[in-house]
Chain A
Amino acid sequence: MAGKKYNTPLIDDLEKGPWPSFVTEMKKAAKNNEMANDALGHLEKCYSTKRGYWKHGGIVGVLGYGGGVIGRYSEIGDEFPGVAHFHTVRINQPSGFFYNSKALREICDIWDKYGSGLTNVHGSTGDLVLLGTKTEALEPIFAEYSSRGWDLGGSGSALRTPSCCVGPGRCEWSNYDTLDLTYALTQEFQDELHRPTFSYKFKIKSSGCACDCVAALARADLSIIGTWKGDIKIDQAEVKNYAKKMDINAEVVNMCPTQCMSYDGKELKINNAECNRCMHCITRMTKALRPSGERGATLCMGSKAPIVVGSLLSWVIVPFIKLEPPYTELKELIRKIWDWWDENGKPRERIGEVIEIKGMRSFLEAIGVPPQPQQIKEPRKDPFMFYTDADIEGFKAKEAEEKKTGKYKF
């Protein structure tokens, strides 16, 4: 394989500084791989002409699957033949991104054989993203990975590969088994993952607590955020230890979003009825504070980046749900959510947008979730109240009855 054949002054600039550089890594790959080498030259040309030359989409994929491969072609493939086809392959990552070195070596060896050798581990979807291969290599790549137990991830108008935080694998604060849930949902919804049937993409991300290490609340159509029902237990002796090294009032009490805490220099108190389980105090004083009581999750719905309408954050739909195998209640709810979206969504409308258009009321009615005060859209705004025509008729009838009996009061 030839050494550097492109002069790349602009992208060379991205190697400066103390941080890791993707250009440096691409150059390493380019020593052994013509596709990676041409990708370098192509990128330099994009920078120097201030144009992207990539075309996206089309009919690439493996037989029977509607996702997992994202077709990319270069408009200037004649000049850079190594990147004339430069398809992306998404491999479904294990829950919580746990691998051993054997697994990683296996993935990279296959990729070196058929692709550019360049990877993005992990992509923002959570998948192992393998960057750059040719159309004719797709079936052999799939055959090699699937024979070793790997599968493609989601793309297009389908369920995207569910992802989660490390959960109980490495974190004591996880309120449910994010790893097991993600695996269970991935297995349950294989059809929805590999065969695009939706109006647009649908992402499920699971975080074990409100620290939300996978940023589910901002990225997932269904954000599953771990929470608990009991009080925050306080170890006052440990609070005293923290007081020696930090300003508890400034760093914890005054930062509490619901102002449910107080500290008089001797004792920390929490009004648990006002606590919204944001995790801030617990992460600042891990030895002194600890959740207690029943564990589960809050289900939030509808976050997305801006495309049809602006970006949205997820919105609480189920304040508390127990999450234990086989997760039947959650799976049934997800299917009801998809049915409503399918009935009401237009192409390229994410579910959050459809809820904005059709209203949370019609959404909640369709999925059979009752309206609850926790379903506020934004903090410190009134909960919205639902009154159906039948409710109003009932109120009127009751009012008329009370007027008759003299019980009616303004």
Chain B
Amino acid sequence: MEKEELKNKIYAFCEAAKGKKKLKEKDIIKGVSEAESVPGDEVKKALREMIDVGKLMYSYGGGASSVEIPSEEYLREKGLIK
């Protein structure tokens, strides 16, 4: 699978969980890897690239860290949107 397509799948996976479940990084790697039959390492690499450019972000709440789709406020603060 092309990396961009994989990134879209990862994004869709996170979007589907939004407001329902806090996803750990490993939940995403495992979930997308199984659903798309892609090696976990590839998913991990793509996921981290998305985090590095602010497409996804780490969040923290209730004592545990998770990966989420960033809010507009966050993107604005990081200068990624105006």
Check A157/B65 contact, CB under 8 A, given A63-B78, A195-B25, A195-B48.
yes
Residue B57 at the chain A interface, CB threshold 8 Å: yes
Tell me the nearest residue of chain A to B49, going by C-beta: A64
**A49-73 contact mask (Cβ, 8 Å, vs B): 1 or 0:** 0000000011101011111001100
Contact A59 B48 (CB under 8 A): no
Residue A180 at the chain B interface, CB threshold 8 Å: no
Residue B63 at the chain A interface, CB threshold 8 Å: yes
Check A156/B60 contact, CB under 8 A, given A63-B52, A63-B78, A135-B77.
yes
Tell me which of B25, B63, B77 contacts A197 (CB under 8 A): B25
Contact A139 B58 (CB under 8 A): no
Check A58/B61 contact, CB under 8 A, given A157-B24, A197-B26, A342-B26.
yes
Residue A196 at the chain B interface, CB threshold 8 Å: yes
B69 to chain A, nearest CB (A): 11
Secondary structure type dominating chain B contacts: mixed
Residue A200 at the chain B interface, CB threshold 8 Å: yes
Contact A348 B26 (CB under 8 A): no
Counting chain B CB atoms within 10 Å of each CB, which of A158, A197, A199 scores highest? A197
Q: Which residues of A contact B61 (CB under 8 A)?
A: 57-58
Contact A58 B64 (CB under 8 A): no
Tell me which of B26, B51, B74 contacts A64 (CB under 8 A): B51
Tell me the nearest residue of chain B to A200, going by C-beta: B64
Contact A139 B71 (CB under 8 A): no
Contact A136 B58 (CB under 8 A): no
Contact A59 B25 (CB under 8 A): no
Interface bracket on B: 20 to 34
Check A307/B60 contact, CB under 8 A, given A136-B77, A195-B48, A197-B26.
no
Q: Which residues of A contact B8 (CB under 8 A)?
A: none
**B5-31 contact mask (Cβ, 8 Å, vs A): 1 or 0:** 000000000000000001011100000
Tell me which of A65, A155, A196, A200 contacts B25 (CB under 8 A): A196
Residue A406 at the chain B interface, CB threshold 8 Å: no
Check A57/B62 contact, CB under 8 A, given A64-B52, A342-B26.
yes
Tell me which of A57, A139, A155, A157 contacts B78 (CB under 8 A): A139
Q: How far is the CA of A348 from the CA of B63 in the complex (A)?
A: 7
Q: Which residues of B contact A158 (CB under 8 A)?
A: 65
**A183-202 contact mask (Cβ, 8 Å, vs B): 1 or 0:** 00000000000011101100
Residue A310 at the chain B interface, CB threshold 8 Å: no
Contact B58 A200 (CB under 8 A): no
Q: Which residues of B contact A139 (CB under 8 A)?
A: 78-79
Counting chain B CB atoms within 10 Å of each CB, which of A58, A66, A158, A199 scores highest? A66
Q: How far is the CA of A362 from the CA of B71 in the complex (A)?
A: 42
Tell me the nearest residue of chain A to B67, going by C-beta: A66
Residue A325 at the chain B interface, CB threshold 8 Å: no
Q: How far is the CA of A139 from the CA of B58 in the complex (A)?
A: 15
Q: Which residues of B contact A200 (CB under 8 A)?
A: 63-64
Residue A379 at the chain B interface, CB threshold 8 Å: no
Q: Which residues of A contact B68 (CB under 8 A)?
A: 59
Contact A197 B52 (CB under 8 A): no
Q: Which residues of A contact B78 (CB under 8 A)?
A: 63, 139
Check A307/B65 contact, CB under 8 A, given A64-B52, A196-B58.
no
Contact A157 B70 (CB under 8 A): no
Contact A66 B54 (CB under 8 A): no
Q: Which residues of B contact A307 (CB under 8 A)?
A: 63
Q: Which residues of A contact B70 (CB under 8 A)?
A: 59
Contact B77 A71 (CB under 8 A): no
Residue A347 at the chain B interface, CB threshold 8 Å: yes
Q: Which residues of A contact B62 (CB under 8 A)?
A: 57, 348
6 nearest A-B residue pairs (beta carbon): A66-B58, A196-B65, A156-B65, A157-B65, A64-B52, A57-B61
Interface residues of A (CB under 8 A from B): 57-59, 61, 63-67, 70-71, 135-136, 139, 155-158, 195-197, 199-200, 307, 342, 347-348
Known: A195-B25, A196-B58, A348-B62. 10 other contacts (CB 8 A): A59-B59, A59-B60, A59-B74, A63-B54, A195-B58, A196-B24, A197-B26, A200-B63, A307-B63, A347-B64
